[in-house]
Structure 1
Amino acid sequence: MFSRRIQQRARQLVMYIVQPLARSGVTPNMLTGIGLVLSILTAVVIAQGSLVLGGWLVLFAGIFDMFDGAMARVQNAATTFGAFLDSTIDRYSESIILLGLLIYALQHPNVHDVVWPAPFEQGWMVTLIFVSVVGSLMVSYTKARAEGLGIECKVGLLARPERVILLALGLITGTGIWALALLAVLSNVTAIERMLAVWLSVRRSAHAQVAQSSRQQSHEQNDTSKPEQRHSIPYTTLNTGTDKNVQSNPRPLPSSVSPLNEGIKHE
């Protein structure tokens, strides 16, 4: 993740741009649709071979992706469907841009404007683009699935802002295949990180539930043993009192006692 200071500066810049648009009647969903069109335009530019211009458009499209959320906050119009639509369109936008790069790679068997030591550059690019698409989708899916289970999952090296900047810098500097290699590896590493984070969270929750259940059973056993002790105390007191009464108030002997009993008594 990039530093919060950079993200905060970017949000402030976006807010300055969005506030005039909010007064003009533009809605967040309209900005989401414009962002999709911009991603399609970026893919077309990349497919035609204008990689540097395509890199700047990738960067601009990534910044523009923040506009719809900022617009929703300014207009106080954030909705559940709007958040769902924005997340879905983001997946389409990212895949479409990589599709444009794939078309470019298929049209150029020997890519000369990227640095790569392997002889089969086209095959490498196609493979890396495919792995990058899978990794990018899995990063988003693991987060969405975890949140659907009630688990917060924001860990990982390469979220969407990092992926956008990495791809844009690779296209602008002419090292696109190296950027694709990093994107392919780190996006899947991020997906694995999130899977491990969810597993650890579920494991901690299970241990906490087991500990709570054992404590509850222990309390229940203590509660069931206390009434028996309370009943036994009066019973003992009653017996003790009865014995004292018996000793202090002996029954009188009958007046007619046999001579044998009298002899035993006097002995």
Structure 2
Amino acid sequence: MTLDQLRPYVTGVLDPFVEGFDRLGMTPNGVSLLAFGMAVLAALAFLLGGRASPIWFVAAAILVFLNGWLDVIDGALAREQNVASAGGDLLDHVIDRYADIVIIAGLAAGIESYFLGFLAVTGVVMTSYLGTQAQAVGLDRVYGGLIGRADRLVIIGLVGFLAYPFSGTYGGLTLIGWLLVFLAVVGHVTALQRFYYAWIALD
């Protein structure tokens, strides 16, 4: 089970934040764009963490967690304001994919490991693609597999925090390098798991 499947159970925790954004006059699309802004800043912080000072990894981790939290809030806000729509869902998914790409680009650029970045970002994009492609062929959206987006952001954030005190190399790679390896391997495995589930369901 992935953390994405737990979204319906965190409603009570979200309520104060949803009400706060509603009082501020924020729209769900506005929150989605704010979440993307956090992703861009996280990517910049990861870049600086690799090339300037490891302390930036801490800032990057906080920004990644903010991106994930805001990504949960935008849907809840749409339901609160009764403006949930297919268009809003589409925008949310597009922004999430760009956020994923930007964050991984920042990770890869910070340690100048672009091939690992390529492998990681393709795994992440294929995971998300297979999750929604199931809907396109008449199935429910698939959130299963080893990790979903929520799990991925938690792991990236935790490694970001650890990359500050443990800034050396381990087995030839920094923690950020090993994070990219993890995202690449687990991303592609998760994508294949989702493909297998959809294939069997259609059979």
Q: Which deviations, in whole Å up to 9, do the C-alpha atoms of 1:176-225 show, x marking residues without a partner?
A: 2232222111111010001111111121xxxxxxxxxxxxxxxxxxxxxx
CA contact (8 A) 2:124 2:188 kept: yes
Between 1 and 2, higher relative CO (CA 8 Å, sep ≥ 6) is seen in 2
For 1:145, which of 114, 133, 144 is the aligned residue?
Answer: 133
> Judging changes above 3 Å, is the alpha-carbon distance between structure 1 residues 155 and 57 closer, same or farther for their aligned structure 2 residues?
same
TM-score by length of 2: 0.84
Tell me the residue number matched to 2:182.
Answer: 182
CA contact (8 A) 1:167 1:180 kept: no
From 34, 59, 73, give the equivalent of 1:67.
73
Distance change (3 Å), C-alpha of 1:6 and 1:159? closer
**Which of 78, 96, 104 pairs up with 1:98?**
104
Q: 1:10 to 1:176 in 2, by over 3 A?
A: farther
Q: Distance in 2 between matches of 1:56 and 1:149?
A: 37
- Say which SS state the counterpart of residue 157 (structure 1) adopts: coil
Q: Name the SS for the 1:65 alignment partner.
A: helix
What number of residue pairs does the alignment pair up?
185
Unaligned runs of 5+ in 2: 50-55, 164-174
The residue correspondences of 1:6-155 to structure 2 (distance < 5 A) are 7=7, 10-49=10-49, 50-106=56-112, 125-152=113-140, 153-155=142-144
Kept after mapping to 1: 8 A contact 2:108/2:114: yes
The amino acid of 1:148's aligned partner reads A
- Comparing 15-24 and 93-102, the one that deviates more: 15-24
**Change over 3 Å in CA distance of 1:147–1:169 after alignment to 2:** same
Please give the alpha-carbon distance, in whole angstroms, between the structure 2 residues aligned to 1:18 and 1:181.
36
Which AA in structure 2 matches 1:131?
L
Q: 1:9 Cα shift?
A: 6.2
Displacement of 1:13: 2.3
- Distance in 1, matches of 2:24 and 2:65, equals 25
Q: Which runs of no fewer than 5 residues in structure 1 stay unpaired?
A: 107-124, 204-267
Task: Flag the structure with larger Rg.
Answer: 1
- Report % sequence identity: 31
Contact 2:28 2:74 in 1 (8 A): yes
Instruction: Indicate conservation of the 8 Å contact 2:47/2:107, yes or no.
Output: yes
The one-letter amino acid of 1:44's match is L
Is 1:197 matched with 2:197? yes
What is the CA RMSD across the aligned residues, in angstroms?
Answer: 1.9
